[in-house]
Structures are given as C-alpha cells and as structure tokens.
DNA sequence: GTCAACCATTTGTGTGACGAATGAACTCGT
DNA sequence: ACGAGTTCATTCGTCACACAAATGGTTGAC
C-alpha cells in the first residue's frame, strides 16, 4: 500500500467535492492551486472555446486578481496537461480535445465532474472493462498471500454492509483496488485509481440500489473464488462478466434518466 | 484522425531521441522545456533521491543558469506530474514513486528511456495485453467503415513491407492504432498512444526479426478477418493471443540479453 | 499587386523585493 | 535535566517591473 494511489480510491469515493485536497501535491486553497483549477475548469467546460485564445496574461491578472507570475505558473501547468499551447503574439490557445491528457487526474476530474456526456461515461466504463479482467488474471496468478487475504477481507465487508449502499460501494471499490494491487502492475494500479476517481466524480452513476448490489455480490464471490483457486482464465472471464454487467447497468440508468438529473432513486 | 495522438504513434516510433519535439505543447529547446526535462530526468533517474529535497531555487538558478521564474515554472510542472512536492522551509522534496503520474507522457518517456527494469517492461506489456483485446472487440462492433478500411490498409502494408523490419514495425503500430481508433474510445486511444510511445522509448524491445514478423503476420490477419466479419468475441480472443505472444517474445529477448545491452541482433 | 520593412502585441525570461510558513535553535521556568 | 514557549533563519509563495524574443498585421516602396 502506498500513500498516493491505492488507499485514496476508497477515501475519495464518498465525498469528492467536500474533501479539501489531500492527495494533490499543491494546495487547492493557495493562489496557485486556485488558478490552476479555475482556468482548467474554464477550458474543460468550454468557457474558453477550443481554438480560441485565453485572455492575455495581463487581462487575467486584472480579472483574477493575482500576479503575473502566478498566472504564468498556472498556465504552464495547463500546458503540461495538454489543454493549451502558448505562442508569442498569438496568445495561449485552447488545444483540440485530442491533445488533452485525458489520463491526467485533474483533467479527468474536471471532465467528469462537469456533466459528462453518455459517450464519455461509456468510454470510462470501456476502460474498466478492458483492464479489470486482466487485473483479475494477474491477481489469480500472484504469489502474494497478503494481497489475496486483502481481497477476501473486502469481499466479506461487502457481504456485511450489503444493506448500507454507501458503505457497500466503498468496499466494492476497495475489492477491485485490492485485486489490482495484488496483480502487481503499477501502471494498471494507477489506471484503476484514475477510473475510480473519475467514476466517483461522475455522480450520475452513483446508484444506491440494494437489490442490484445483492445481485452483483454473487459475481464478486465467483471472482474471489477463482482468484483464491488460482484459476487465472476463469478469474478473468468472471471479472469480465462482472464489469460488463456494471457497464450495462450504467447504460440502463442513463437511458431512464434523460440528463442533468443526478442522484436519482436515492 | 487527430493531430495530437494517433498519427504520432507511427512517426515517433523510429527515432525518438532525434525527433525535436513535435508533439509537445512547449518547445524543448526553450529555457522552460529544457529545465522541465532536465529536472524531470534527474528525478526519474534517481539523481535526486526519493525523499530528498531538490537544491533550493536559488541554488538551481546558479547551477542551471536561468532565472528564478523559469526554475519555478519548471518545478510547478513537475509538481503537477506528481514527481515532487514543495513546502516552505523544508524544500521541494521528491515524492515516492507511487505518487508519480506514470501515465503522463513525459514521465512515461523519462522512465522508459532510462534503462527500464524488466518489471517495468512487464508492466507496460501488461497494459497492452489488457486493453488491446477490448479495443479489437470495440472495433469489430463498430459501424465506422472508414476505420475498418484503414485497418485493412495497414495490414496490407505490413504484408508488403515484411522484409523491411523498420517499415514493418511502423505499419504494425499503425495497424494497432487504427484498431483502437476505430473502436472509438478516446481514453483507450490515448492509452494506446502512450504505450506505443513508451515501447518506442524502450529501445531494448526494438527487435528486427523478420522470421518473427512473418509469424505474427498470420495472427494479425486473423484479427483483421474477425474484425471485418464483425465477430467481436473472436476478435478480442485473437488479439489477446497476439499481444500475449508479443509479451512472451519480449520476455524471451530480455532473458537472453541480460541487461544494458540495447539493439542486439540487429 | 507583390514584397520587404516596420510596428504593435503577446509571451518569454530575468531580477528584486517582501510575505508566509515552518523547522531548528534558543530561552526560560520548573 | 527536561519541557514548553519564543525567536530566528531558511525556503518557498507572491507580486511588480523591465526588457528580450517572436510574430501577425500594417505600411510603404516599386
């Protein structure tokens, strides 16, 4: 377990907006963090349209009430995230979406906090469907007994909290995080943490459906058994069934809840 | 096709180090880009050990011969990549690896350019194994006829350039890039571009083995046929066979070539 | 009409100053 | 001797200003 990715998955789930900024390397409350988030959101939201230039640095200084150094440092960060590109005389222009570093934690959060489209949620789920089965396969082949014990522990907690959706979803995420962690692939682990954070940010998909949870519990159990039994192909296939099922559930929810309507059926 | 991810995959493959910096939003030759890369590499290489503080800003100004503004802007970029964390009085300390944004293009490149460990290459391949089959599945289910035509085109080019390993590997990558693009998942596409760039940076795995290429050609053909025939499950399974095969090839190469020895058997 | 020179604007870079945070050293009381 | 509070020095945080470099647009010569 480490301080920056794995345990966060659980903690960031329940209250995304209220959490100050525990896992970022800069303080959101300082001038720098505030500027980065403000400008970043404006770009992602389309308030600064693609192809257009941001206000000039001096204009931003006036509008945002901070020094030019702070503005420049923030813009440089956005540049590093692929959102904008600065050129002398032309200005700082917003790059096309294909340039954005969508796998950057901030970009992902900004994108999925702000009323993500169905397509965007579909893409997000697609990534989960892609890597979760492989993570289960790796976990099933792993020799890390402690890791497998952690998976088992989280499964049991899921069983115990089946009637409390908020608790349950936390252990659900922890179950998947434990599997990815046990798999031992750093890149997949980061990817998993990113996806979890994005799903948590996209509050559309926060469903608290006890009946559905009870149904998926069996699927989780099957995955667990396959991992414990070292049946790698079976673990992968069962996990695939599980996450595609979740993907279908999300699709159904989105269809029945046209748009902009968060927290339905609480 | 877009300007920032897909076509790059091919172009960046053959000469990574010689390419100026066409796909970055900042110029590598300017003061800022130079500082970001210099400091970033020092962190990734361990020249600034984890947990230690970087030299103070004024010290860096002296050592690197640039103004404090430029140093600060560069450090802010590294902070945004999760590499370091600045605190007053204590200094700018290097964060543990688990905090690094490994899916950041720069971080990935720095990490895999610099003599990556077998474990790191294994992780990289693991990600490919995870998402390529799903990408093939999506492509097989896609209605985008132009995309499928592009896949077909690249396959034919692979056939035609089978005796020229350099050309062949370019079309091989383009084949996979076309599949991911046709799949239509933006996140997977970025992930694919990242992995391609990282593999290109890791020159250990640049094998130019015509016999092996001829063998994989059949696998590619099978994937292509499944996609054209809209057999989604078969496309995924065949792609899985293909990329796991590549993964095994890389493992074998690494075993037979203990370490630090690039470009063997040219 | 074409092309070159010029100009205005915007980011790029360097420098100095002061503020805020904080770890370390120091003082003082017990 | 030990602990608590204070002071101090160091380092990043922020702002302001000045000038350089790049470049799109304008102007003017022919």
- pLDDT reading at B143 higher than 80: yes
**Which of strand C's nucleotides are less than 7 A from any protein C-beta?**
8-17, 19-23
B63 touches strand D (CB under 7 A): no
The DSSP-derived string for A13-70 is HH-TTTS--TT-SS-TTSHHHHHHHHHHHHHHHTSS-TTSBPPPHHHHHHHHTS-HHH
> Which has the higher per-residue pLDDT, A264 or A25?
A25
Tokens for B60, please give them: 């860096």
Rounded Cα distance between A50 and A43, Å, is 8
Cβ pair B130:A188 closer than 8 A:
yes
Q: What is the predicted pLDDT for the residue at A255?
A: 82
Q: Which range has the top average pLDDT, B82-96, B204-218, B242-256?
A: B82-96
Nucleotide in closest CA–C1' contact with B59: D11
Rounded Cα distance between A48 and A52, Å, is 7
Residues A218-262: tens digit of each pLDDT = 999 999 999 999 999 999 999 999 999 999 999 988 887 655 544
Q: Which residue shows structure tokens 């290429």?
A: B213
- pLDDT reading at A21 higher than 50: no
- Where is average pLDDT lowest: A70-74, A167-171, B11-15, B132-136? B11-15
Using the C1' atom of nucleotide D15, identify the protein residue whose alpha carbon is closest.
A67
With bands split at pLDDT 50, 70 and 90, how would you rate the model's confidence at A28?
A: confident
Q: What is the predicted pLDDT for the residue at B259?
A: 52
- pLDDT reading at A46 higher than 70: yes
Distance from residue A89's CA to nucleotide D30's C1', rounded to whole Å = 30
Cα distances from A194 to residues A126, A132, A188, A191, B102, in angstroms, run 13, 13, 10, 5, 11
Q: In this structure, how many other beta carbons lie within 10 angstroms of the beta carbon of residue B237?
A: 17
Tokens for B241, please give them: 């066979």
Q: What is the predicted pLDDT for the residue at B203?
A: 78
Share of residues in chain A with pLDDT > 70 (%): 88
Cβ pair A126:B138 closer than 8 A:
yes
CA A13-A76-A47 angle, 5° bins: 65
- Where is average pLDDT lowest: A15-29, A47-61, A247-261, B154-168? A15-29
Q: Max Cα separation, chain B?
A: 64
- pLDDT reading at B191 higher than 90: yes
Rounded Cα distance between A116 and A248, Å, is 17
Rounded Cα distance between A58 and A64, Å, is 10
Cβ atoms of B198 and B188 within 8 Å: the answer is: no
Q: Is B29 helix (H, G, I), strand (E, B) or coil?
A: coil
| Shortest alpha-carbon distance between residue A162 and chain B (Å) | 30
Pure H helices in B141-184? 145-160, 165-183
Closest residue, chain B, to A189 (C-alpha): B98
Rounded Cα distance between B132 and B145, Å, is 20
- What single-letter DSSP state applies at residue B97? G
With bands split at pLDDT 50, 70 and 90, how would you rate the model's confidence at B23?
A: low
CA B98-B17-B82 angle, 5° bins: 20
Q: What is the predicted pLDDT for the residue at B263?
A: 46
Closest CA to A85 of A54, A41, A46: A54
Nucleotide in closest CA–C1' contact with B66: C14
Residues B40-85: tens digit of each pLDDT = 999 999 999 999 999 999 999 999 999 999 999 999 999 999 999 9
Rounded Cα distance between B260 and B142, Å, is 43
| β strands within chain B, DSSP E | 84-87, 91-94
Cβ pair A6:B98 closer than 8 A:
yes
- Where is average pLDDT lowest: A12-16, A211-215, B107-111? A12-16
Mean pLDDT of chain A: 89
Q: What is the predicted pLDDT for the residue at B264?
A: 42
Q: Is A265 exposed, middle or buried (0-12, 13-18, 19+ CB in 10 A)?
A: exposed
> Cα B53 to the chain's mean position, in Å?
29
Q: What is the predicted pLDDT for the residue at A8?
A: 43
Using the C1' atom of nucleotide C12, identify the protein residue whose alpha carbon is closest.
A88
Please state at what angle helix A145-160 crosses helix A210-228, rounded to 10 degrees: 160
With bands split at pLDDT 50, 70 and 90, how would you rate the model's confidence at B96?
A: very high
Residue environment code for A150-188, b if the CB has 16+ CB neighbours within 10 A, otherwise e: bbeebbebbeebeeebeebbbbbbbbbbbbbbbbbbbbb
Residue environment code for B93-112, b if the CB has 16+ CB neighbours within 10 A, otherwise e: bbbeebbbbbbbbbbbbbbb
Rounded Cα distance between A62 and A69, Å, is 13
Distance from residue B90's CA to nucleotide C23's C1', rounded to whole Å = 7
Q: Is B53 helix (H, G, I), strand (E, B) or coil?
A: strand
What number of CA atoms fall less than 13 Å from residue A64's CA on the CB side? Answer: 26
The DSSP-derived string for A96-164 is PGGGS-TTSHHHHHHHHHS---HHHHHHHHHHHHHHHHHHHHHHHT---HHHHHHHHHHHHHHHHTTT-
Closest CA to A254 of A130, A116, A128, A113: A116
Tokens for B103, please give them: 């899916």
Q: What is the predicted pLDDT for the residue at B20?
A: 32
Backbone phi and psi for residue B136, each to the nearest 5 degrees, phi listed first: -65, -40
Mean pLDDT of chain B: 89
Cβ atoms of B216 and B249 within 8 Å: the answer is: no
Q: Which residue shows structure tokens 């490919």?
A: B128
| Residues of chain A positioned with their CB less than 8 A from the CB of B182 | none
**pLDDT (average), residues A92-120:** 95
B58 touches strand D (CB under 7 A): yes
């Amino acid at each position: 377990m480490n301080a920056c990715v794995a345990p966060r998955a659980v903690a960031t789930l329940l209250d995304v907006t209220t959490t100050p900024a525990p896992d970022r390397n800069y303080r959101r409350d300082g001038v720098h963090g505030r500027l980065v988030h403000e400008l970043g959101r404006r770009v992602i939201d389309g308030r600064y349209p693609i192809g257009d230039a941001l206000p000039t640095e001096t204009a931003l200084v006036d509008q945002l009430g901070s020094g030019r150094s702070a503005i420049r440092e923030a813009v440089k960060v956005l540049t590093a995230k692929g959102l904008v590109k600065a050129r002398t005389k032309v200005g700082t222009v917003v790059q096309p979406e294909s340039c954005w570093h969508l796998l950057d934690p901030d970009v992902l959060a900004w994108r999925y906090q702000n009323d993500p489209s169905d397509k965007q949620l579909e893409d997000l789920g697609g990534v989960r469907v892609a890597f979760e089965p492989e993570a289960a396969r790796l976990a099933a082949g792993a020799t890390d007994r402690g890791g497998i014990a952690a998976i088992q522990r989280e499964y049991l907690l899921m069983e115990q909290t089946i009637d409390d959706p908020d608790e349950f979803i936390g252990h659900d995420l922890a179950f998947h995080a434990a599997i990815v962690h046990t798999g031992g692939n750093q890149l997949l682990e980061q990817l998993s943490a990113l996806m979890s954070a994005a799903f948590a940010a996209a509050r559309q998909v926060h469903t608290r459906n006890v009946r559905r949870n009870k149904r998926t519990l069996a699927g989780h159990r099957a995955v667990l058994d396959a991992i414990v039994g070292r049946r790698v192909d079976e673990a992968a296939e069962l996990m695939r069934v599980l996450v595609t099922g979740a993907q279908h559930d999300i699709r159904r929810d989105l269809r029945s809840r046209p748009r902009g309507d968060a927290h339905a059926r609480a």
